[in-house]
Amino acid sequence: MSDDIKSYHIFMFPFKWSVSSNKEITFDEKTDIKKVIELMKKSDWSYKYTNYKTLNSEEYNEYVYFYDNVRNAMFSEMPEHSNDSKKQCVFNYEYNQWNNPKYTIRVKQKSKEDLEYKLDIDSIKLKLYEAGIGILSFQLSNTEYSEFEDILKINEYGRRIYPQYVGNIGKKCDILPTKSSFLANSIKLECSDNTIEENFNGSIKNGFADPYYISQTITKILGDNFKAENPEDKNSDGKITFKKLIDDRMFTICWCKNDDRIRNLKRRSKKLETYGYSISKDWCKYIFVDGNDVSCKSHEMLPTLVENHTYNRWIDDSTLYGFSRYSFVCLTNSGWFPENIIKKHMQTIYYEMISLLLAQRVGILNFSDEVSDISALDNTSTVVEKIRNLKKNYIQFINRIYHREVTAQDQGIELYNLLSNCMGIEKNVKDLDQELDSLHQYATLMDDKKTNEKLNLLTILGAFLAVPALATGFFGMNFVDFTQGTSENVVSNTSGALFSNVLDFTVNTIFLSTSYLSVWAWIFMYTLAPLCAIGYVYIMYTKNKKECENIKKEFFIKLSEKYTTSPKLTGTILIIIAYCIFAMLISTAFSLITHIFPGIYAYSFLTGHFAFILTSLISIMSVLKIIEEIKRRID
């Protein structure tokens, strides 16, 4: 490989990954990094461990450039077999190198032979983040092509991973129009014993374009453990499913030396009082990776657009930086410093900085995808769990990967801020914060609703249990002993407790003895008759709901505003009051009857049976009706 490098190119493919395509599971289960680590051990990728105790000069300069808390999002500081993998948020891998590998780009020309560009592959790197994010990078050296137009074409055609659009022949899709404008005729990764070639013809199947198609230069390099996401393919268990989140272009980092170009760009115009780059179409094409014609056709817009995407701190030293949402480029003159220092910074420091920014951008898109998926789920319990788990992972993402500042170096701070603002990361983080907060509030409301429903059910059950408790607690100390059957006992005997001699209550005595049957009849009459009356009123109300609704609403709201904070609590209190009123009325009525007609006890056996049967039937019907109403409200 020649030492005279004309330009250096890095193509970066950011993506999301998961270990399962099941949308019902939590974010933690989808992004189980331990499973990924185990799969990577069986692949063609080698784990790159950064041991700060054994750094060479190049690694040291890169390592100390960044803040300590930022390094965890850039370097793999834990050994591959470490049990503390949770402390690390990124895992770095490098592809096992072939012999003299080449990255060959063929560009279709009208009525001419294809243009061919052969670049040397320095390395192929892979970053896998714990938040379900990955970045695949091709680092390429150009030692043959020095013309600026060739550099532009290498960037434009070498970064494509699928057709930007397709044409048509009749009713069938056709890829030739795309290859005549933006898409390479083919991209080939080759060496002496292995070749991966992509001509993009596979993106057309049976005359139709496949929107999920990704170049084989991506899929085959990632290996058999990875599988591109496709809705029709449900068999992805046991593999790492990945999905593109941006568009058909890989992010492009490029350093290029060209004395003539940089001389023209830094020349100041006395008339316009500005540098030459601000009106240069070539510089605009370089920034926005236009291989053929400039994408801005407005003479008024061009200077403003170029100025907003140029970093000119070192323009007088013949160094100019440009940036966009999908590129970071540098143009310098020839010389030892640009070729040995600036180029190396582009390969290392700025590569790591842009990797972090891409991880942030893709992470935001990934969490937005998860929010959309969760919003479409119906299972309430699953949704609440997934929302809380997603919120937890998002907080970890913000604290470990999203950084507002990464270095103390002025140039690093300025470039990082410019690139971050250009990608809209801070704005997107704020928007995602609001989305997740709203989703989390929704989850809290659903959880509170479920809790309230359970508490309401317990309140209703408690109200029913309070009825016999009230009867036994109050009337049990004041009931007369009906088993004596005399009028004197009716008035004077207050010592017979309702549940006296509890141990003597056997099955035979309870259900066969007429005296105890009489007691049970009184229990049913005192406990269930009032409830049956209330149930009857409720049923009548439901039958005439429209007529009663306005009266009920106004009545309950006024009571709630005056005495309580909840209409439901008001309703519960009114039911208890109604029960007490009905119970006192029935008690008073029976007391009067026994005073006036003491001889009624001669028929206690028959009245007891009748009361027992009647109240049992009514109570069963009432209980079924109440259960049905509770179930309906919970559903």
pLDDT tens-digit readout, 401-452: 999 999 999 999 999 999 999 999 999 999 988 888 888 787 777 777 777 7
Once rounded to an integer, what is the mean pLDDT over residues 620-630?
55
CA distances from 439 to 187, 376, 390, 435, 436 (A): 44, 12, 10, 6, 5
The two counts, helices (H) then strands (E), for the chain are 22, 20
Higher pLDDT, 103 or 597: 103
Using the predicted structure, report yes or no on whether residue 561 has a pLDDT greater than 60.
no
Which of 434, 343, 347 has the alpha carbon at shortest distance from 391? 434
Q: What is the b/e burial string over 569-583, where b = at least 16 CB atoms within 10 angstroms of the residue's CB?
A: ebebeeeeeebeebb
The pLDDT of residue 502 is 37
Higher pLDDT, 453 or 106: 106
The pLDDT of residue 282 is 93
Alpha helices in 85-141 (DSSP H): none
pLDDT tens-digit readout, 236-254: 667 899 999 888 899 999 9
Between CA 222 and CA 240 the distance in angstroms is: 10
Which of 193, 191, 249 has the alpha carbon at shortest distance from 218? 249
- Residues contacting residue 39 through CB under 8 Å, at least 6 positions apart: 225, 239, 240
Output the CA torsion sign for 434, 437, 443, 448.
Answer: negative
H or E element, residue 7: strand 7-18
The pLDDT of residue 199 is 93
pLDDT band for 113, please (50, 70, 90 cuts). Answer: confident
Every domain of the chain and the residues it spans: 12-258+333-447, 601-634
The pLDDT of residue 601 is 47
The pLDDT of residue 306 is 94
What 3-state class would DSSP assign to 258? Answer: coil
pLDDT tens-digit readout, 202-214: 888 888 888 889 9
Single-letter code of the amino acid located at 199: N
Using the predicted structure, report yes or no on whether residue 496 has a pLDDT greater than 50.
no
pLDDT band for 310, please (50, 70, 90 cuts). Answer: very high
Hey, how many other C-beta atoms are within 10 angstroms of the C-beta on 20?
Answer: 18
Length of the chain: 635
Backbone angles phi, psi at 313, to 5 degrees: -55, -35
Output the CA torsion sign for 29, 32, 36, 39.
Answer: negative
